[in-house]
Amino acid sequence: MMKEIMDQKESVARAVNQSEEEINTISSAIRNAKGTFLVACGTAHKACMAAEYFFSVVAEHHVNVAAASEFKLYHHFLKPESLLIVVSQSGETADVLEAISVAKSKGAKVLSIVNTAGSSIDRASDYTLHINAGPERAVASTKAFSGQMAVLLLTSYALAGKLAEGRKLLLETASMINDMLNPRYVERLSHLAERIKQQEDLYIIGKSWNYPMAMESAIKIQEVSYIHAEGFAGGELKHGPIALIEEGTPCIVLVGNDEVTPDILSNAVQLKARGAFVIGVAPENNEIFNEWIKVPDAGNAQALVNVIPIQVLAYELAVQRGKDPDMPRNLAKSVTVK
């Protein structure tokens, strides 16, 4: 798992290496579709949720997002002009293959974003973009997830007619990730894990594209450390989850330098007022944070960089709690049966 986290120094840049002709063809298919659906499972589904924001903010284009296991319930909305965008690391995910079958039965086109060339999903698709992450063997997906995010963000820029700008942003982001993932940074996260490893509950909040990153962060911590972790939209705290906060409860706040920053910091104040131990993942420190994990200011790619320190933290929590992060209980790398 740690090797693959570190692989992101190079794998994000490889994900950006897409054929201009191919990605422009795909962006045209998205633009001309009458109903575009982003569909995936688990971690890949969180990449799709983030992409809904990418398409909205960058391309001002509406897309729909659904969990693959729920997608067959959407068949009433499908028509030959619809486009299904599926995301899968293995290319063999059973629920995704079922979603493709449902879409094909209605005459819809399928675009797949996969890591495995020649996989069942790849072969069943009308268009394919490969994330070029290389083999990912750890059950908890890290570099495949960031590759999926990079390809989806790049596609949103292509849809906006700004492909060169998107490439530049993502290559700069890859360079930032390279600088961030150094031994001193990992050591800092190891010390934080030492401080919170005895906790059995942990909460993560975000807003905009950091909301699905909060959910993905929770998945990573659940998978390998077995801590009960949950991700929420910051604005939903007062609609129930804030009742869970007690003195010393660790709460991670994902922040970027954008228009929603004042809102998510206000949510962090609400957590701290209830006794939470507030961990800020942000480009800049703030007095609200009990602990600050610095991340680069990556603009529209902020979601991509914000999730990486949580991957490292999840690994460190697993190791320090005596768990094997490469063999999490009850889980398989690829869910090939329903």
CATH number of the domain where residue 147 is located: 3.40.50.10490
Band (331; pLDDT cuts 50, 70, 90): confident
Average pLDDT estimate for 43-68: 97
335 within some domain: no
Q: Are residues 80 and 196 located together in one domain of the fold? A: no
Alpha-carbon distance of 211 to 94, in angstroms, equals: 26
Q: Domain check: are 244 and 147 in the same one?
A: no
pLDDT recorded at residue 270: 95
Q: Is residue 331 assigned to a domain?
A: no
Whole-number pLDDT of residue 337: 64
Residue with tokens 């979603």: 99
Residues 47 and 161 in one domain: yes
Q: What is the DSSP letter of 209?
A: T
Strand pairing report for 109-114 and 127-130: parallel
Q: Let me know whether 173 and 135 are in one domain.
A: yes
pLDDT digits (tens, 9 = 90+) for 264-284: 999 999 999 999 999 999 999
Residue 74 binned pLDDT confidence (cut-offs 50, 70, 90):
confident
How confident is the model over 15-44, as a mean pLDDT?
95
Instruction: Tell me which of 40-54, 67-81, 311-325 is least confident.
Output: 67-81
Q: pLDDT tens digits for 53-64?
A: 999 999 999 999
Contact 278, 289 (CB under 8 A): yes
Q: For the segment 200-216, what is each residue's pLDDT rounded down to a tens digit?
A: 999 999 999 999 999 99
Q: Is the pLDDT of residue 335 over 80?
A: no
Residue 223 in domain: yes
Model pLDDT, residue 257: 85
Q: Which of 152, 154, 90, 98 is nearest to 122 (CA)?
A: 90
Count: domains in the chain: 2
Whether the CA torsion 49, 51, 52, 56 is positive or negative: it is positive
Could you tell me the residue range of the domain that residue 275 belongs to? 182-320
Res 130: pLDDT: 96
d(CA 211, CA 204): 9
What are the Cα distances from residue 309, in Å, to 14, 39, 286, 313? 20, 26, 18, 6
d(CA 166, CA 178): 18
At 334 the pLDDT is: 67
Domain edge (last residue) among 178, 202, 226? 178
Based on the number of CB atoms within 10 Å of its own CB, is 292 exposed (0-12), middle (13-18) or buried (19 or more)?
middle
Residues 87 and 152 in one domain: yes
In a domain, 326, yes or no: no
336 lies in some domain: no
Q: What is the mean pLDDT of the chain?
A: 95
Q: Is residue 270 part of a domain?
A: yes
Rounded-to-integer distance, Cα 336 and Cα 333, Å: 9
96 and 196 fall within a common domain? no
Residue 325 counted as domain residue: no
- Cα 267 versus chain centre, distance: 21
Residues 123, 254: one domain? Answer: no
Residue 332's pLDDT band (boundaries 50, 70, 90)?
confident
Q: Does 328 fall in a domain?
A: no
Backbone angles phi, psi at 123, to 5 degrees: -70, -30
pLDDT digits (tens, 9 = 90+) for 99-148: 999 999 999 999 999 998 999 999 999 999 999 999 999 999 999 999 99
Q: Which among 178, 197, 231 is the end of a domain?
A: 178
Identify whether residues 205 and 106 lie together within a single domain: no
Same domain, 17 and 120: yes
The pLDDT value given to residue 265: 97
Can you say whether the dihedral through the CA atoms of 243, 247, 250, 252 is positive or negative? positive
Among 149, 178, 207, the domain-final residue is: 178
pLDDT higher than 70, residue 21? yes
In this structure, the answer to whether residues 267 and 164 fall within a common structural domain is no
The residues near 99 (Cβ < 8 Å, ≥ 6 apart) are: 39, 68, 71, 72, 84, 86
> Domain check: are 191 and 171 in the same one?
no
* In a shared domain, residues 245 and 144: no
Task: From 337, 321, 14, select the one nearest 329 (Cα to Cα).
Answer: 321
pTM exceeds 0.85 for this model: yes
Instruction: Tell which residue, 285, 292, 236, 283, has the closest CA to residue 257.
Output: 283
